[in-house]
Amino acid sequence: MKFIDPKNNTDLENYKLLIGSVIPRPIAFITSISGEGVVNAAPFSYFNIVSSAPPLVSIAILREKEEPKDTLKNILEKKEFVLHLVNSENVENINKASINFAPDKSEVEFANLTLVESTNVSVPGVLESRVRFECTLENHFEIKDNGKTITDLVIGRIVGFQIDEEVLFDGKIDPLKLDPIARLAGRSYSKLGEIFDLKRPRL
C-alpha cells in the first residue's frame, strides 16, 4: 500500500483520487427555479440518501469560484427543488444540461427535455426521468477551507415521489427497468453490472 497525505496533494490530485475510488456514484439531475421564473437544470454526482425516516437526500454543490452556482442560489431562495435519477434513455440529454448558461437562460430547452408540473412543490420536473423526488430544503451547510466556502452541502426532504409505474413492483423499484446510469471518473459512466444477493449475518 502507498500512503498519500492529502495535505501534500493539490486539490486536483485529491479530486482525481476521490472520483476514481468512490465509484459508481449516482447522478442527481436537479431542477430549480429562479426568482425571475427561469428553470435551471444541472447534474450532480456528489449525491446520496441521508435517511428514509424522514426521507432525506444530500447533494454537495462544489463552488468553482466563491460565488454559489445557480442551482444553490435558487434552492436557498425558493426552498424547493426536484431531483431526478438518470437512466440510459436520458443521460445524453442530461449531459447537455451540464453546460454553464447565464442565470437568465434555461438549460432545459437546450437539452431537449420536457418540463412537467410537480404535485407538492412549485418547481417543475422533467418528464424524461423515470424517478423524481419533489424536495424542500431541510438544511444547508457551508463547508469551508482556509476561511473560504468551497462546497455547499444541501439536505433535501422528499415531499413527493414521482415514479414511472413500469419500474414499480410490490412497492419496490425494479433496478433493471430503472436502468440507472452512474458516474465514474473523467468522461466515464457506468450501467448496472452483475447483480447478486447476500444474506446479512445474524447472531
**How far, in Å, are 39, 91, 98, 109, 181 from residue 33 at the CA level?**
4, 21, 16, 14, 25
What is the H or E stretch that residue 2 is in?
none
Q: Where are the alpha helices (DSSP H) in the chain?
A: 11-21, 70-78, 91-96, 107-110, 175-178
What's the mean pLDDT in 186-197?
Answer: 92
Over the Cα atoms of the chain, what is R_g?
Answer: 18
What pLDDT shows up at residue 100? 83
Q: What cell numbers appear for 68 in the block?
A: 454559489
Extended beta strands in the chain, E state: 25-26, 28-33, 39-44, 47-52, 55-62, 80-85, 115-116, 125-126, 131-145, 148-163, 168-169, 172-173, 182-183, 189-190
120/97 Cα distance (integer angstroms)? 24
131/128 Cα distance (integer angstroms)? 9
What's the mean pLDDT in 159-164?
Answer: 97
For the ranges 52-56, 83-87, 141-145, which has the lowest average pLDDT?
A: 141-145
111/31 Cα distance (integer angstroms)? 13
The CATH H-level superfamily of 23-185 is Electron Transport, Fmn-binding Protein; Chain A (2.30.110.10)
What pLDDT shows up at residue 80? 98
What's the mean pLDDT in 179-199?
Answer: 93
Q: What cell numbers appear for 108 in the block?
A: 432545459
**How far, in Å, are 58, 68, 172, 193 from residue 150 at the CA level?**
16, 9, 37, 34
DSSP assignment of 58-89: EEEEE-SSSSPPHHHHHHHHHSEEEEEE-BTT
What pLDDT shows up at residue 156? 98
